[in-house]
Amino acid sequence: MFFLDFAQFLNVESLLVDTAGDAAGRQQTEAWDTAELRKQQQRDTVEAFLNADDAGRRKSLAQQSQKRRAEANMIQLHYATVSQDADGIAAANKQLHEELYENKYPGQHQLDRPVRESALAGDLLFNQKKLQIYLLSCCQNNRANPEMASVASVAGGTRSDRYENVAEGGMVDKPNCLNDFYHSCYALSGLSASENLFYFDHKRHFFCAHRRRHGGERGSAGALH
């Protein structure tokens, strides 16, 4: 991961042969500048998505706090009921009481569990935000497929137009690697894990704001699907 972070700061233009004096060199340099600008726009879009105001998560945390208070009140009520039992169950320990509560209200307990565990969102063994940025900005395969472009030639148009408009799609784990089903699936699996409990309100807020700012264009996260 250190190497990947370091590689993001390399200026590929410095690795090119100095041919800026001729037309081919200028065209090559312009191509690199255009690619870098496109990558920067993708990174900006992803950053806006990740930094959007997450109203859905705030709502979930409020519900979580409310559920915990209700659960604590129900357990205390259960303790009070047991303590008045004439059969001497009042001598049972607290752990047994909690087990009785879970067995008495199994459905409610299972409904409460996802809300209680939602606090774990973001507490993983890797940087979720950086993984999302890397996958969405660097791993989507936008290279054109020459074979598909040749098939599309039946529709007419210039060769460059056909080549730019027909893309292979899929995802890769690093540049210039295979974009087959295997790599696409495990890249999407990593994206899903890094998005752990991103709520629909969060996505809706971002995409609505993005469409207002950019006249209805879709962001990188939307184009992925």
34 lies in some domain: no
Does 26 fall in a domain? no
Q: What is the number of domains present in the chain? A: 1
Q: From residue 154, how far is each of 77, 147, 162 by CA, in Å?
A: 76, 12, 10
Run of H or E residues at 187: helix 181-194
Q: Which domain holds residue 79?
A: 56-120
Burial of 153 (0-12, 13-18, 19+ CB in 10 A): middle
Mean pLDDT along residues 148-158: 45
For the ranges 43-52, 89-98, 106-115, 176-185, the one whose mean pLDDT is highest = 176-185
Residue 99 belongs to a domain: yes
In a domain, 11, yes or no: no
Q: Does residue 216 surpass a pLDDT of 70?
A: no
Would 61 be classed as within a structural domain?
Answer: yes
Residue 220 · residue 136 · CB < 8 Å: yes
At 200-212, the pLDDT tens digits run: 445 555 555 555 5
**Residue 163's Cα: distance from chain center in Å?**
30
| Closest among 131, 183, 123 to 4, alpha carbons compared | 131
Q: CA 128 to CA 47: how far, in whole Å?
A: 13
Q: How far is CA 78 from the centre of its chain?
A: 42
Query: Per the domain annotation, does 125 fall within a domain?
Result: no
> What confidence score (pLDDT) does residue 79 get?
59
163 pLDDT tier (thresholds 50, 70, 90): very low
CB atoms within 10 A of CB 46: 20
- Does 96 map to a domain? yes
Task: Give the whole-angstrom CA distance, residue 139 versus residue 176.
Answer: 10
- Cα torsion 138, 139, 142, 145 to 10°: value is 140
Sign of CA dihedral 123, 129, 131, 136: positive
- pTM as predicted: 0.30
**Mean pLDDT score, 163-171:** 61
